[in-house]
Amino acid sequence: MINCIIGSGVFGLPSVIAGALGNASPFAWLFAAAATGLVIACFAEVASRFDQSGGIYLYTRTAFGRSFGIAIAWIGWLTRLTAAAANANLFVIYLGEFWPGAKSTLPRLIILTLLLGLLTAVNYLGVTKGATQSNLFTVAKLVTLVAFIVAALFFVAFKHLPLVISLPSGPPKLWLHPVLLLMFAYGGYETALMVGGEAKDPRRDYPFALALALIVCGLIYAMTQWVVISLLPGSSMTDRPMASAAQLMLGVWGARLVSIGVMVSCYGYLSANILGFPRILFAQAEHGDMPQWLAAVHEKFRTPHIAIVIFGLCLWLFSLIGSFQWNVTISAMARLIYYASVCAALPVLRRKKDVPEAQFRLPMGNLFALLAVAVSLLLFPKLDSRGLLVMGVLALCILVNSIWAARQGLANSAQVQTVGTK
């Protein structure tokens, strides 16, 4: 869960948030954590009702029906592809510490192909290998972040530098876009919910994992922002804020060491996503909302190998065509839609008699759901022309998929009736 959350956001966004909010920027991470907490609380109860793979697709399909589930699945795909693509691009940005030409067209193509190809192959060969790799990278990224924070605090104390911070100020409108971007940084936990059918006891474990992951990530995020703005004046901010801060503390080798840690962390985030999110395509096919061959399981490795390869190829394409910031914006926008949808599913699932009882029941759950939906709508941004184009293509895909699924359902019903008559 932590590996799915901690990714490019904490490594690439501190400079963006500091540029917008100055020394009050650590509070933006806390406000985003509070908003995310409303959503996560709803996710915890909803997830505790299911032990099948599919995550957000399964939850919304069960609550609101087939067509709604299909729409959320496509929105989920867009969100995770753009989030993972942002991490792949950040990997290339930090690689520039060692190879300044890494961001050029041909080197970038080669790097992204090797990076994503290897991860796809690992997860193709087995869920155990993928999960083990994901856990190792989780430890690596936490060590990197905690070491950076501790080193920065010692440096500030040794140099008798102040830890700068200001109280929140300015109109609420000033804070909306930064908090929206930070909702991206706190997102990703939904990917870990995708593999419920392959987990030991998801109905019991998911609520605990969600709560613990939010607490850990919130503390790390706020502290990272705090030490970055304390070490780097606004004019010194770059697209590699942690590397720049490390260079100030430890010189060139410090920047290189942190850059290695960031690249390892981005790689781990990609590993977690390629492990988890192809299962939503598998779940769609398993429920008849996609062609059945997409639910194929490899005879030897017991993985949904076709779904994994498709996700890997799509991720490679989004990584090539979109920059870090473009992918972050699209991902943050799209995920607000399914956050609101899953939260709205909470009171609906409570009334459904054919759904298993929740192993975790959220106190005042209906109120939490209402507040979470309201926050999601409040943060939803205005779309530019590129965003409108993306959403238009997405709507077309949803429409085509829904028509296909409806026709398949009618064909299957007719076949059953024919067999029954015979």
pLDDT in tens, 55-75: 888 899 899 988 888 898 888
Q: Which pLDDT tens digit goes with each residue over 133-157?
A: 667 777 777 888 888 899 888 898 8
Q: Domain with 72 in it: what CATH number?
A: 1.20.1740.10
Least confident of 280-294, 362-376, 396-410: 280-294
Average pLDDT estimate for 152-164: 84
Q: Which pLDDT tens digit goes with each residue over 281-322?
A: 777 787 788 887 777 777 777 777 788 888 889 899 989 887
Q: Is residue 85 a contact partner of residue 330, using CB atoms and an 8 Å limit?
A: no
Both tokens of residue 249?
Answer: 């503390």
Q: Percent of the chain having pLDDT more than 90?
A: 19
This prediction has a pTM of 0.79
Q: Do 372 and 271 share a domain, yes or no? A: yes
Q: Do 316 and 396 share a domain, yes or no? A: no
d(CA 149, CA 227): 7
Q: Do 166 and 133 share a domain, yes or no? A: yes
Binned at pLDDT 50, 70 and 90, residue 181 comes out as: confident
Q: What is the pLDDT of residue 412?
A: 62
Q: Do 99 and 136 share a domain, yes or no? A: yes
Average pLDDT estimate for 197-205: 81
Q: What is the DSSP letter of 13?
A: S
* DSSP character string of 22-45: GGGHHHHHHHHHHHHHHHHHHHHH
247 versus 8: which is more confidently predicted? Answer: 247
Q: What is the pLDDT of residue 129?
A: 57
Q: Is residue 58 a contact partner of residue 283, using CB atoms and an 8 Å limit?
A: yes
d(CA 152, CA 249): 7
d(CA 309, CA 320): 17
* Domains contained in the chain, number: 2
Best mean pLDDT range from 80-84, 327-331, 371-375: 371-375
Q: What is the pLDDT of residue 176?
A: 85
Q: What is the pLDDT of residue 128?
A: 61
Q: What is the pLDDT of residue 234?
A: 67
Binned at pLDDT 50, 70 and 90, residue 39 comes out as: very high
d(CA 345, CA 129): 34
Q: Percent of the chain having pLDDT more than 70?
A: 92
Q: Do 362 and 393 share a domain, yes or no? A: no
CA distances to 60, 237, 304, 344, 401 from 284, in Å: 12, 44, 12, 21, 11
Please check the confidence at residue 34 and state whether its pLDDT lies above 90: yes
Q: Do 376 and 405 share a domain, yes or no? A: no
Q: Do 134 and 190 share a domain, yes or no? A: yes
Q: What is the extent of the structural domain holding 396?
A: 386-422
Average pLDDT estimate for 88-103: 87
Both tokens of residue 221?
Answer: 């995020």
Nearest to 57 by CA among 408, 398, 303, 374: 398
d(CA 109, CA 111): 6
Q: Do 264 and 350 share a domain, yes or no? A: yes
197 versus 188: which is more confidently predicted? Answer: 188
CA distances to 36, 404, 414 from 407, in Å: 38, 5, 11
Q: What is the pLDDT of residue 341?
A: 92
346 versus 57: which is more confidently predicted? Answer: 346
Please check the confidence at residue 240 and state whether its pLDDT lies above 90: no
Please check the confidence at residue 127 and state whether its pLDDT lies above 70: no
Nearest to 361 by CA among 207, 221, 231: 207
Q: Do 277 and 405 share a domain, yes or no? A: no
Q: What is the pLDDT of residue 267?
A: 81
Sorted by sequence, the CB contacts under 8 Å of residue 347 that are 6+ apart come out as 365, 366, 369
d(CA 376, CA 32): 11
* Domain endpoint, select from 349, 365, 381: 381
Average pLDDT estimate for 232-258: 81
Q: Do 54 and 79 share a domain, yes or no? A: yes
Q: What is the DSSP letter of 102?
A: G
Q: Is residue 103 a contact partner of residue 93, using CB atoms and an 8 Å limit?
A: yes
d(CA 299, CA 38): 41
What count of other Cβ atoms lies within 10 Å of the Cβ of residue 379? Answer: 20
Q: What is the pLDDT of residue 419?
A: 46
Q: Do 210 and 276 share a domain, yes or no? A: yes
Please check the confidence at residue 414 and state whether its pLDDT lies above 70: no
Please check the confidence at residue 27 and state whether its pLDDT lies above 90: yes
What count of other Cβ atoms lies within 10 Å of the Cβ of residue 176? Answer: 14
Average pLDDT estimate for 356-372: 90
Q: Do 223 and 356 share a domain, yes or no? A: yes
Q: What is the pLDDT of residue 261?
A: 81
